[in-house]
Amino acid sequence: MSAKIKYSDEPIGEVEVIQDFLPSPEELAFKEDTVKVTIALSKSSIEFFKREAEKHDTKYQQMIRRLLDAYTEAQGGHITRHSRRTP
């Protein structure tokens, strides 16, 4: 396969702290126009979103969709009309 990675205890150089851009579960629960796709996700991720969706009385698919929208927005993609984040 690939070569084994050898780690050392050397300085890593300059570190930059970035602002947390991921939304809270509460921010992931609203409706927006959608396009249907098929995607395979890890069982642990789906279980997390199902638990959080139940806590907030919403659908887990909507929360996942909002998370992807927030990531896209943070990367300079589109800004949704329902965006609740401030720069």
How far is the C-alpha of 82 from the C-alpha of 87, rounded, in Å? 15
- What's the pLDDT score for residue 31? 65
Query: What's the pLDDT at 79?
Result: 55
What is the b/e burial string over 32-64, where b = at least 16 CB atoms within 10 angstroms of the residue's CB?
eeeeeeeeeeeeeeeeebeebbeebebebebbb
Q: How confident is the model at residue 26 (pLDDT cuts 50, 70, 90)?
A: confident
pLDDT of residue 30: 67
Per-residue pLDDT, 52: 95
Has residue 1 got a pLDDT over 70? no
33-52 pLDDT, tens digit each: 778 899 999 999 999 999 99
